[in-house]
Amino acid sequence: MTSLPIEILAGQRLMVGFDGTDFNADLKFLITELKVGGIILFSRNLGRPEQIAQLCRDCQAAAAEQGLPPLFVAIDQEGGQVARLKPPFTQFPGNPAMSGEQEAMEFARVTAAELKQIGVNMDMAPVLDIAPPDVDSIMAGRAFGSDPQWVASMGRIVIEHLQHRGMMAVAKHFPGIGRTVLDSHHALPDLEIDEKTLQASDLIPFKTAIAGRVAGIMLSHIRYKGIDPVWPASLSPAITADLLRGRMGYDGVVMTDDLDMGAIKPSYDIYTAIGQILSADVDIALICHKGPDIEAAAGTIRRMLNDDPTIKRMGRRSFKRIIGLKRAFLSGRWASGYDLI
């Protein structure tokens, strides 16, 4: 068996954003040189359906020509407030407007079909945050509601029907940001909450998602001071390694929210953030904007995989999770001749 090049082990741990609507020199560098595992699409990348489909084909072709695994191609298509794709794509009113199982099924069915048609294979949905009625929740316009069991049920349906149609679902934002009133896009919110309180409410939808074998879980950029008073969830071993993987038993792909967000970037440089991510047993670092942090992150992952035996061991487990997910949802059986142990 052949050992995997460190560049591939490292690159697959990154999902990145980019500028432009066609395959360009920046994308070529990200895919062929940094060997990133995935890309994420935003409004700045999106035009007519034919343009998006061509962009996705070109990106996948660039990876295939290098003998790399197929790319995760992700998008935030929740419906309502967060829907990157505009008409002619179907416009849904969003999670708060869903009144029952049929509407959740229809959203998942149509969304999966439309995303697959343009080459997207991962939807950063559903939102499993709970918006309590007595809190001016930042997620009130995006959450299914305030009842944990209702949120769990609706989320389960969306996950099941997206994934039944070959679309990877990513449940977010673990372990729940519905109690926050401060937007983590701009600053780092603190929650004075302990695990017992989360277990009784916020974690219920995520437990259901785990039981439903959700493809991925996205971490929040919130500091849960009763669990980890130092690190936000996206950088916290107590949240991912201990709670999500240890006590809740999730062995699927875990990713951060965007490391460019205001909750992270002003407080933690990219080297610190990546060090924490690897130590916490998080699989994928999400960096949504063009800039030097992407290359710096790739270099830091390579160095840590080379230099730290514990990180290297965890990194191989992480790579197996990523490749396992790609094999389950994407074509081909890449890396069958490599030693992944």
For this structure, is 289 an active site residue?
A: no
Instruction: Give DSSP secondary structure letters for 221-258.
Output: S-EETTT-SSS-GGG-TIIIIIIIIIIS---SEEEEEE
Helices and strands (DSSP H and E) totals, the chain? 10, 14
Instruction: Give DSSP secondary structure letters for 90-110.
Output: -----GGG--SHHHHHHHHHH
Asked if 15 contacts 36 with a C-beta cutoff of 8 angstroms, the reply is: yes
Instruction: Give DSSP secondary structure letters for 290-323.
Output: -SHHHHHHHHHHHHHHHH-HHHHHHHHHHHHHHH
Asked if 259 contacts 273 with a C-beta cutoff of 8 angstroms, the reply is: yes
89 Cβ neighbours under 8 A, 6+ residues apart: 49, 114
Instruction: Give DSSP secondary structure letters for 152-166.
Output: HHHHHHHHHHHHHTT
For this structure, is 164 an active site residue?
A: no
Cα(18)–Cα(290) distance, integer angstroms: 5
146 Cβ neighbours under 8 A, 6+ residues apart: 130, 131, 132, 133, 178
Looking at residue 33, the DSSP 8-state letter turns out to be: I
The residues that bridge with 286 in the sheet, in sequence order, are 15, 258
Residue type, 62: A
Active-site residue, selected from the candidate residues 22, 185, 269, 339 = 185
Looking at residue 44, the DSSP 8-state letter turns out to be: G
Active-site residue, selected from the candidate residues 123, 257, 258, 293 = 257
Cα(127)–Cα(118) distance, integer angstroms: 23
Looking at residue 43, the DSSP 8-state letter turns out to be: G
Active site residues: 185, 257
